[in-house]
Amino acid sequence: MNKQNSNNNTPEQSERRKSHRVLKNIKVSYTVIPGDTNVTPYEFGKTVTTNIGRYGFCMFVSEKIPEQSLIQIALKFTNLKYSIQMLGKVIWSEWYEKDKMYQVGIKFVGLLPENWEKIISGE
């Protein structure tokens, strides 16, 4: 995949970063939660993270997910026997012509497990 720097972020995104990101491929399944309450949520896809940190992660997807969309996320860490379920919000999305994929920046919404830093580092 087309990488713009070691964190898969543009320089502007890296400068805004509030915390360190770990370059890690974690299995993700996600469901887009529609803003219109008359629309049923739908399973959107499965992918892997390109990096993950305290406040969010990046992933590549084949379909565009509109910015500001809420998504239900299930992260499957290899060091855990279970998936971690959480909400996320699409902060940005960028088309990569070379890869024919969208890179999407997700911000976590709500509380994370107390040992989140250990979980993402693989301890």
Which of the 8 DSSP states describes residue 37? T
Residue 74, phi then psi, degrees to nearest 5? -125, 115
CA-to-CA separations, 48 to 16, 24, 79, in angstroms, rounded: 23, 9, 15
Q: How far apart are CA 70 and CA 62, in angstroms?
A: 18
List the pLDDT tens digit at each of the 123 positions of the chain: 444 444 444 444 444 555 667 888 999 999 988 776 665 666 678 999 999 999 999 999 998 888 999 999 999 998 899 999 999 999 999 999 999 999 999 999 998 889 998 898 886
Q: Residue 90: which of 75, 74, 72 has the closest Cα?
A: 72
Domains of the chain (ranges, CATH numbers): 11-110 (2.40.10.220)
Enclosing H/E stretch for 15: helix 11-16
